[in-house]
Structure formats: structure tokens, C-alpha cells
Structure 1
Amino acid sequence: MDSIWNGLMAWIAGWSTQAGGQVADGVGAAASHLDMPSLLALAAALGWVSGFRLYAVVFLVGALGAVGWMPLPEGLQVLQHPLVLAASGALLFVEFFADKIPGLDSLWDIVNSVIRVPAGAALAAGVFGADNTTMALVAALMGGTLAASSQAAKTTTRAAINTSPEPLSNIGMSLVEDGLVVAAIWLATHHPLLFGVLLLIVLVLMWIVTWMLFTFLRAAFRRLRNWFVGSARVAG
């Protein structure tokens, strides 16, 4: 009986080792097919959507890597660690609801603005890892700039939306941002050139909208300040 049990355990151990080697070889082969346009597109996507949903990016990419659906470059494999997944998942849960409450969403953006830009730069640099210092630096600059652009657009858009008392516009915009994370990562990994073209168009539109909303908010705050000043003079 012991010999049968020992033989069975030896067979299971041998099979698991062989299967694990095949999975590792498959992931390594898939990762080697990521050419330069694909890597640049992935770095740009991670940087850009980090300005909208940093924790969603970290959790989604880590989860896809953990289940083997997306081979991660060596610099991003830390995202699939169970502790990182647990932390990013918990923060994603909090952000999902906080981002849909008027007023609280803007406060959440202000608090997280200090981490989104450097995190976007770090994620973009992680696509190339430490072995390619030059491209990692280029990716970091690109990712940080894209994260700052999307963070600015998100903050000004939410501030303008919060001038309206109804909550549906906040929820709708938040859901759009949720969808952007999934769409950007999928498009960057499956159609990198198309993603690059669309990203350039979206960036131009974002800068235009951000400037228009900034002008609107500045005028709104000026009118509000004049109203308070006028009320104070009347009361005096």
C-alpha cells in the first residue's frame, strides 16, 4: 500500500513540475512576442489610465497576470503578488464608491493626486524594467505626463459636474472612467498602433476640454466671490 501511495505522489509531483514548466515556457514565449510598439502602447496605456483609476489599473493588470491571461513584463510581475492584489483590490473597492459621490469624488481626487502621477510614471517604466534603462526613462517621462494630463482632465471635469446638484452625472462619468481602464489596456495589448492613434486624438480633446472647464470654473468662482462680497456689504 505504501509503495502505491509513494508512486502516486511521485507521479503527481512529476506531472506538476512538468506542467509548471510548460506554463512558464508559454508565458515566456508570449512575453517575447511583445515588440517595441506593443511595449510603448502598454506603457502609455498604464500611464494614461493611472490618472483616472490608479488602483483599478494595478489590480486589473496584476489579476490578469496572476491567472495567466496577460503575460507581464518582468518589471510589472510584482503586481500579481497576492499582497499587492489584496491591497490594490481593497483600495479599488473604496475608490469605486467614493468616486461616485458628489463632492467626495473631488476630495478623493485631491488626496490621490500626489500619487497618481508618480505611480503612472513607475508603471510605464516597469514595462521595460531595469534591463533597458534608456527606454524605462523615456517610458517614465511619457507615463508621468499622460497621468498628469488625465488627472487634470478628471479633476476639472468632476469640479464642473459638481456644480450641478443631481448625482447621476457623477455616476455616469465615473462609470465611463471605469470602462476606459479596461478598454485602454485591452486595446493597447491587442491593437497597439490603433491605440496610439486614438490616444493622440483623445489627448488633444482632453486638453481642449480641460482648458474650457478651467475657464468656466474660474468664472464661476469669480461670480461666487463677488456674490459673497456683495452680500457682506449689504449686511454691513
Structure 2
Amino acid sequence: MSVLPLVFTSGWASGINAYAVVLLLGLMGRAGITDEVPLSLQRTDVLVIAAALFLCEAVADKIPYVDSAWDAVHTLIRPVAGGVVAALLAGQNGSLSDLAAGVIGGSTALASHLVKAGTRLAVNTSPEPASNIVVSLAEDLGVAAIITFALFHPVAAAIIAGVLLVLGITVVLLLLSRIRRALRRRKERRERRRTGGDPAPPGAGGYGGAHRGR
């Protein structure tokens, strides 16, 4: 059986939460649920590190603006992780070259990561924090569900991942104006912190203004 559908799905999921993908695949392989997972992902040290980083992401991903900062840091990490996982899966199966699998998994992870990061910027424009928690939980559950499904029904899972990717890109394009406003506000806040606040206009209030008014 071709490993391409699983490579694509794991790439998409890695762009959302790479640590969850590594952890889930490793645990399922370790438990003997599937033989599609390479031994390198089942190692105890890999599972412990993935679990610790997953917990960190589970917290950071639910805090407004902290989630966007976390996404920015992972702009390189998630595509690389997606590429590595894809190459390992291809090496385990042997039906697709490691290089081709790495390119497919990495590029798919980058695309889904950009969708996630753009969506989070739009969500952060909301004045309440509950939306961040809801979106984060939906992402975590979605990644767990599609990775589990992909191990048993890889083609169907790849189709679902493809549809979700297209829908995500469409949503981000529709929310571009909202995202631009969020970025502009963040830039203004950084500028205010750098300058120590907005300077008062010349002659506004204070002794100097009263003196000139005489």
C-alpha cells in the first residue's frame, strides 16, 4: 500500500500540532496498534520529550497572543517536524522515497501551520479569551482523531485533511482584513512600549500650556 496518504495527513496534522503527531504515532506503534510507525518514533526519550512539549503547547496555545508568539517560534519547527515524520514513515513503508516524502510532509505542514497562525491572529482580535480555548481544543481533538483515523483509513483521512486545508486557506483569506488590523495593533503596542507611551501634544495641559495661554 502506498504511504502517500499517510504522509500527507501527518504533514497536515504536524502543521497544527507536531508534538501531538509524534506522541500519538509513537504511542500507537509502541502499543502494537499499528506497524506503520518506525521504531525511532517509539523510543522512550522521543515520547517523553514529545509529551513535555505537547503539554507546553497545550497551555501556550490557549492564551491570547501567547498562542501567536508560540506559532511564530514554530514557523520553522512544524514544517521540519512534518518533513522528518513523513520521511520516517516512508522509510518504514518503502513505497515512497524519503526525500519525496519529506518534501510533501514539510510543505503540507507549512501550509497548515500558516492557516493555523493566520486563524489565531484573527481569533485574538476577539475581546474574550474563551474563543482561544475552544479553537485550541478543537485543533487538539482534530489532530488526534485524524491521525488515529489515518492509520486505519489513510486515503479517507487524506481526503479529509485536504478538504480541511482548503477550507482553512479560504477562511484565512476571508479574514485577512481582520488579521491586518490585529497585526497593526500589535505593532502600535510595541511602539508605545518602546517609546514609553504616547507623548502629550505640544502645549496640552501642564504649567507650560497655562503660561502660554496668558
Q: Which amino acid aligns with 1:40?
A: L
Matching of residue 138 in structure 1 with residue 100 in structure 2: yes
CA contact (8 A) 1:184 1:195 kept: yes
In structure 2, the residue matched to 1:215 is 177
Q: Relative to 1, partners in 2 of residues 1:44 and 1:225: Cα closer, same or farther, differing over 3 Å?
A: closer
Q: Relative to 1, partners in 2 of residues 1:103 and 1:135: Cα closer, same or farther, differing over 3 Å?
A: same
Query: What does 1:37-186 correspond to in 2, within 5 Å?
Result: 39-73=3-37, 76-129=38-91, 132=94, 135-186=97-148
- Higher relative helix content: 1
User: Runs of 4 or more off by more than 3 Å in structure 1?
Assistant: 130-134, 219-226, 231-234
CA contact (8 A) 2:6 2:155 kept: no
5+ residue gaps, structure 1: 1-34
Between stretches 55-64 and 196-205, larger displacement belongs to 196-205
Q: CA deviation at 1:71?
A: 1.6
Which secondary structure state, in structure 2, belongs to the residue aligned with residue 72 of structure 1? Answer: coil
Q: CA deviation at 1:155?
A: 0.6
Q: Relative to 1, partners in 2 of residues 1:42 and 1:224: Cα closer, same or farther, differing over 3 Å?
A: closer
Q: CA deviation at 1:165?
A: 2.1
In structure 2, the residue matched to 1:235 is 201
Q: Which amino acid aligns with 1:60?
A: L
Query: What are the superposed Cα offsets for residues 153-186 of structure 1, whole Å, 9 maximum, x if unpaired?
Result: 1111111111112111000000011011111112
Give the whole-Å Cα distance in 2 for the aligned partners of 1:99 and 1:158: 9
TM-score normalized with structure 1 length: 0.74
Give the whole-Å Cα distance in 2 for the aligned partners of 1:169 and 1:217: 16
CA contact (8 A) 2:118 2:172 kept: yes
Give the whole-Å Cα distance in 1 for the aligned partners of 2:185 and 2:141: 35
Which secondary structure state, in structure 2, belongs to the residue aligned with residue 128 of structure 1? Answer: helix
Q: Which amino acid aligns with 2:201?
A: A
Give the whole-Å Cα distance in 2 for the aligned partners of 1:194 and 1:183: 12
Aligned-CA RMSD value: 2.7
In structure 1, the residue matched to 2:211 is none
Give the whole-Å Cα distance in 2 for the aligned partners of 1:232 and 1:97: 33
Q: CA deviation at 1:92?
A: 1.1
Give the whole-Å Cα distance in 2 for the aligned partners of 1:225 and 1:180: 32
Give the whole-Å Cα distance in 2 for the aligned partners of 1:68 and 1:131: 16
What is the number of residues matched between the two proteins? 197
Give the whole-Å Cα distance in 2 for the aligned partners of 1:179 and 1:54: 13
CA contact (8 A) 2:11 2:106 kept: yes
CA contact (8 A) 1:41 1:189 kept: no
Q: Relative to 1, partners in 2 of residues 1:217 and 1:60: Cα closer, same or farther, differing over 3 Å?
A: same
Which secondary structure state, in structure 2, belongs to the residue aligned with residue 96 of structure 1? Answer: helix
